[in-house]
Each structure stands twice: as structure tokens, then as C-alpha cells.
Structure 1
Amino acid sequence: MSFWPEFLIIASVHLLAVASPGPDFAIVLRYAVRFGRRAAVYASLGIGLAILLHVTYSLVGIGVLIKTTPWLFQLLTVLSACYLLYLAQGALRAKAPATADAIALEQQVRPAGFKAFSAGFITNGLNPKATLFFLSLFAVVISADTPFSYKLIYGLYMAVATAAWFCLLSFALTNTKVRGFLLLKGYWFDRLMGVLLVALAAQLLLSSFGNNVGG
């Protein structure tokens, strides 16, 4: 298959995957609401960089080991669920701020940068659904005869496109017209994200152990 037809297929499949709600969306939404645009952008960049992690192990063949070793994939799933639960407990404990605390929340934006970046990177890097997506992509959609340089371009595109998508989402969620409302009422979104993260963690664990029992 030539470059452009294969690239367009990959770009379309990737767009559908990145736009679907999941842990990445939950993390960006939480940081956008709780800490503002800068932190949400950092989280988005972390997610984008984590894409390169998936691309790397898919290119070097480590993905085959993960796919053919059930206990290793299950361990990845458990670690991901535990991390989501860790994030959820912080979100669920969010408290309603007083009006005067809005400025204090703004001041928390700057030191949250690296933490937000790390949260985005770890969330995507440990996401077993992302692992399955890239394993399937490189095994089924991308031809075995595709040159390594093309595969590298595909990977770089998906990393940049993912970061760009969530950065745009960050800007939309932190529009100045809704920023004040989010600062004062954001704790409800925080708690909602906490519930969502718990649900995502539970789904990961149930699907993992359910498949294990079924197998």
C-alpha cells in the first residue's frame, strides 16, 4: 500500500479513537476545570508524548510480548486501574471554594504544570486500551511491507495530532466566558470526574479479570 492511502486510513481511525471519551479526556477535563488552561495544555502534551511510547514498543516488537503474555497485559491493566483510582480519590474530595478563593485557584496553575504533564503521560502510557489500539494498528492496518520511515512518520503524526486535539479541548474548556463559572463551580466537575475515573478503573478491572476467567 502506498503512503497516502495508508496514512489517510490511519488518520481516520486515530481521530475516532482520540475523540472518544476515556481516561485521557477525563484527565484533561479535570485539569482544565481545576487548574486552568496552562495545566490542561501540559496534561495534553503529556498524553501526546505517551503516544510515542506506544509507537516505540510497537515498532521494536515489545508489543508482541505484551500481546502474547496475558499476565503482563493484566499487570498493566491493574496498574492503570490503580492509578485512575488514585486520581479519583483526589477529585472526589474536592471542596466548594469561597468566592475569594478564585484567585488562590489561579495561583495554583503555575506549580501544577509538571504534575499535569506527568498525569497525562502516565494515564495514557498505562492505558491498556491504548496498548491494544496500537498493537492492532501496527498489526492489522499498517502493512508489514511498509517502510520503517513511513511507520515512524505515522507515529509522530499520531503523537502530534493527539496533543493538538487535547490542547484544543483545553482551550475550549477554559474559554474566558466560562472560566469564572468553572472556578466557582468546578468542584462539581471535579467530583463528576472522580466518579468517571472510578467507573473507568472498575471497567478495566472487570474486563481484565472477566477475560481471564473466561479464558
Structure 2
Amino acid sequence: MVEYLDEFLIIALAHFFAVASPGPDFAIVLKQSVQQGRRNALYTSAGVGLGIFVHVSYCLLGVAILLANSPELFDLFKYIAGAYLAYMGVQALRAKKNTEPEQAIGASSNTESDFKALRRGFLVNALNPKATLFFLSLFTLMIDPETPQSIQIFYGLYMALATWVWFSLLSVVLSRPKVRRFFHRAGHWFDRGIGVVLLLLAMRVVI
């Protein structure tokens, strides 16, 4: 493993900047933290981390090469991802005004199942073309083809774990009562703002 330390550090640094940059993953974790509370956001974050395994799996199986050389297939993937983000954006735009923000904070906590939160985070990451492009470049350009598959699997495990930890930390911060109370003062405007962001992300994904 020591001989692959330089490669690992490059990958870890690239992954950090990728996961820390604003995108669909951040938007959905922010939305769930404020609307649903800490537990829901943590499960959403776990789903985002699990979504990393989808990207790592198709890269290890060689599908990344197929996607890179098949614009039609990649375009189809983009349209599916864009449609999903647009759907979530429209749902957020339909948010109604909270007449009692304090009560809304308590009422919005744990109103949906842990599985649904996990599934939402998983789908947002797994269908994120930004993540697809990142892993395509990572496994085709930054990782040496001669690197043993066991080492590449380790890279994938690290990135999934690091993603989960990062968004879990964000969930803990964003779901604090003071933070949620601040966002709930804006209420429906915050929800609609997130909806606009998701729609813009959907347009960016497709275009």
C-alpha cells in the first residue's frame, strides 16, 4: 500500500474538493436537515455515501470506458438525472407558508421513514452526472491501470466513507435548532429557493 500512497493522496485531495463543492448532494442534505431534522438528514447522508459505490462499481467493471465512448448513453443518463432533480425541484416549489415556525420545526422531524431518506440520498448521488464525470476522469486518468483492483476497491471504500462523514457533519450542523429556526423563519421561501436551485441544477445537468 505504501507504494500507492502518492496516488491515494492525489485521489483523496481531488475527492475532497469534489465533495465539498456545492451540488445536488449538498442541496438535498441542506433541505432534509432543515425540513426533516437530524435523523432524516443523517440517513440521507448515508444514502449519498452508498451512492458512491454505484460509481466505483461501474468504473471497476469497465462501464466507465463505455460511458466515456458512448455520448448517446451518457446523454440518456443525464436526462434521467435531470428529470429526477427537476421533480424534486417542483416538489419544493410547491411548499406552503408555515404559519407557526416553532411548531413546524417539531412537526417536520421524523415525518418520513429512514428508508425513504436513505433512498433519496442514494438516488441523488447515483444519478448525479457531476459525480459520474468525476469518477470517469478519476479511474481513466488519475488511477494507473496497473494499480491492483484491491487497491482501487480501497480507494472506493475510502471515498464512500469520506462522503458519508462529510455530509453527516453537515447534517449535524445544519439540523441544530438555531439553524433550523433561522431557515424556518423564511419558511416557504427557503423551500422555494431550494426548488429553484434544484431546477437550475437539472438544467445544468442536461445542457
TM category, shorter: over 0.9
Given that 2:184 and 2:190 are in contact with CA atoms closer than 8 Å, whether structure 1 keeps it comes out as no
1:103 partnered with 2:94: no
* Identical positions, percent: 50
Name the CA distance, whole Å, in 2 between partners of 1:186 and 1:151: 44
| TM alignment of 1:140-155, pairs within 5 A | 140-155=141-156
Given that 2:92 and 2:191 are in contact with CA atoms closer than 8 Å, whether structure 1 keeps it comes out as yes
Q: Hey, what does 2:74 align to over in structure 1? A: 73
Q: Hey, what does 1:210 align to over in structure 2? A: none
Q: Hey, what does 2:137 align to over in structure 1? A: 136
Match of 1:2, SS state, is helix
Name the CA distance, whole Å, in 1 between partners of 2:84 and 2:25: 13
Unaligned runs of 5+ in 2: none
Match of 1:96, SS state, is coil
* TM-fit CA distance, 1:110: 4.8
Q: Hey, what does 1:182 align to over in structure 2? A: 183
Match of 2:152, SS state, is helix
**So what's the TM-score if we normalise by structure 2?**
0.93
Partner letter of residue 134 of structure 2?
F
Q: 1:110-158 deviations in whole A, cap 9, x for unaligned?
A: 5242222111111111111211110110111111111111101100000
Q: Hey, what does 1:13 align to over in structure 2? A: 14
Tell me: CA distance 1:27–1:117, structure 2 relative to 1, closer, same or farther (3 Å): same
Name the CA distance, whole Å, in 2 between partners of 1:52 and 1:195: 29
Partner letter of residue 194 of structure 1?
G
Given that 1:23 and 1:124 are in contact with CA atoms closer than 8 Å, whether structure 2 keeps it comes out as yes
Unaligned runs of 5+ in 1: 207-215
Given that 1:24 and 1:120 are in contact with CA atoms closer than 8 Å, whether structure 2 keeps it comes out as yes
Name the CA distance, whole Å, in 2 between partners of 1:101 and 1:150: 47
Match of 1:145, SS state, is coil
* TM-fit CA distance, 1:183: 4.0
Given that 2:40 and 2:114 are in contact with CA atoms closer than 8 Å, whether structure 1 keeps it comes out as yes
Tell me: CA distance 1:178–1:132, structure 2 relative to 1, closer, same or farther (3 Å): closer
**So what's the TM-score if we normalise by structure 1?**
0.90
Aligned residues: 204
* TM-fit CA distance, 1:39: 1.1
Given that 1:105 and 1:183 are in contact with CA atoms closer than 8 Å, whether structure 2 keeps it comes out as no
Given that 1:34 and 1:186 are in contact with CA atoms closer than 8 Å, whether structure 2 keeps it comes out as no
Name the CA distance, whole Å, in 2 between partners of 1:186 and 1:25: 19
| TM alignment of 1:48-127, pairs within 5 A | 48-99=49-100, 100-106=103-109, 109-127=110-128
Tell me: CA distance 1:96–1:42, structure 2 relative to 1, closer, same or farther (3 Å): same
